Amino acid sequence: MRGVMLAAFACALALPIGVKAQAPPAAAKATGRYYSEAQAKRGKDQYTEDCAKCHGATLKGAGTAPALVGDDFLHDFYAVNDLYNKTSVTMPDDNVHGLSTDTYLNIIAYILQANGLPAGAENLKEDVAAMRRMPLLEKKSVKSAGGSPYGFYTEEQAELGKGYFRGSCSMCHAFDPSKPDNRELPAPEGRGFGRDPNRIRLNLASTEVRDKYHNVGSLYNKIRTSMPLYGGGALSPEAYVGMAAYFLRENGYPAGKEPMSSDPEALMGMTLPEKGFTSLFNGKDFTGLRFLIGGNCTPRPEGCGQTEPGTTFKVENGMIAVSGTPLGFMYPDKKYKDFTLRLEYRFPPYPGMENSDQYYGNSGYLLFMQSLRVWPEMIEIQGMNAELLDVRANKSVKYTVDTLARSRGTRPVGQWNSIEIVSKDGQIWSYVNGELVSTVTHHDYKDPGYLGFQSEGAKLYWRNIRIKEE
Q: Do 103 and 92 form a contact (C-beta atoms < 8 A)?
A: no
Enumerate helices (H) and strands (E) in the chain, giving the number of each.
Answer: 12, 16
Q: Is the pLDDT of residue 181 over 50?
A: no
- 12 burial level (CB within 10 Å; 0-12, 13-18, 19+): buried
- pLDDT, residue 3, reads 37
- At residue 420 the predicted structure's pLDDT band, cuts being 50, 70 and 90, is very high
Q: Which residues of 435-455 are buried (b: 16+ CB within 10 A; e: fewer)?
A: bbbbbbeebebeebbbbbbbb
> For residues 398 and 199, what is the distance between their CA atoms, to the nearest angstrom?
58
Instruction: Compute the distance between CA of residue 250 and CA of residue 260 in angstroms, rounded to an integer.
Output: 16
CATH of domain 155-268: 1.10.760
Count the alpha carbons within 13 Å of 249 in the hemisphere toward its beta carbon.
27
Query: Which sign, positive or negative, has the C-alpha torsion 438, 406, 214, 8?
Result: negative
Q: Which of 132-146, 273-287, 357-371, 421-435 has the lowest mean pLDDT?
A: 132-146
More confident of the two residues 317 and 195: 317
Please give the Cα distance from 212 to 219 (Å, whole number).
Answer: 9
Paired sense of beta strands 435-443 and 397-401, if any: antiparallel
Using one digit for the tens of pLDDT, what is the confidence trace for 103-121? Answer: 999 999 999 999 999 999 9
Of 341, 335, 312, 344, residue with least CA distance to 454:
312
Distance in angstroms (rounded) separating the CA atoms of residues 363 and 321: 13
**Distance between CA 184 and CA 291 in Å, rounded?**
48
Radius of gyration of the chain (CA): 27
State the pLDDT at residue 140: 67
Percent of the chain with pLDDT over 70: 84
Average pLDDT in the 126-154 region? 83
Q: Please check whether the two domains, 155-268 and 278-469, share a CATH topology.
A: no
- The per-residue pLDDT for 30 is 83
Beta carbons of 169 and 9 less than 8 angstroms apart: yes
Tell me, rounded to whole angstroms, the distance of Cα 213 from its chain centroid. Answer: 9
Region 356-381: mean pLDDT is: 96
Residue 467 and residue 62: Cα distance in Å, rounded? 54
DSSP strand E in 300-448: where? 313-316, 319-322, 328-332, 335-336, 339-346, 364-369, 379-382, 391-393, 397-401, 417-424, 427-432, 435-443
Task: Give the sign of the dihedral formed by CA 219, CA 225, CA 226, CA 227.
Answer: positive
Helix (H, G, I), strand (E, B) or coil at 75: coil
- 272, 215 contact by CB (below 8 A): yes
More confident residue, 211 or 209: 211
Residue 198 has pLDDT above 60, yes or no: no
d(CA 71, CA 159): 14
The reply to whether the predicted model has a pTM over 0.85 is no
In CATH terms, the superfamily for domain 28-132 is Cytochrome c-like domain (1.10.760.10)
Amino acid 66: pLDDT: 87
Class of the CATH domain delimited by 278-469: mainly beta
pLDDT at position 439 over 80:
yes
Q: Identify the CA nearest to 430 among candidates 387, 469, 389.
A: 389
The Cα 42–Cα 109 span in angstroms is: 9
Exposure on the CB side of residue 132, measured as CA atoms within 13 A: 11
Range with the lowest mean pLDDT among 263-272, 327-336, 350-359?
263-272
For the chain, what are the domain ranges?
A: 28-132, 155-268, 278-469
For the segment 12-38, the average pLDDT, to the nearest whole number, is 60
Q: Which residues contact 56 (CB under 8 A, 6 or more apart)?
A: 62, 65, 67
Residue 250 pLDDT: 82
Q: Answer yes or no: is pLDDT of 421 > 90.
A: yes
When the pLDDT of each residue in the chain is averaged and rounded to a whole number, the result is: 85
The pLDDT value given to residue 143: 66
- What is the secondary structure of 101-156 as a DSSP string? HHHHHHHHHHHHHHTTPPPBSS-----HHHHHT-BSB-------SS--TT--S-HH
Max avg pLDDT among 59-63, 141-145, 268-272, 333-337? 333-337
| Residues 220-266: tens digit of each pLDDT | 998 899 888 777 899 999 999 999 999 888 888 889 888 998 888 88
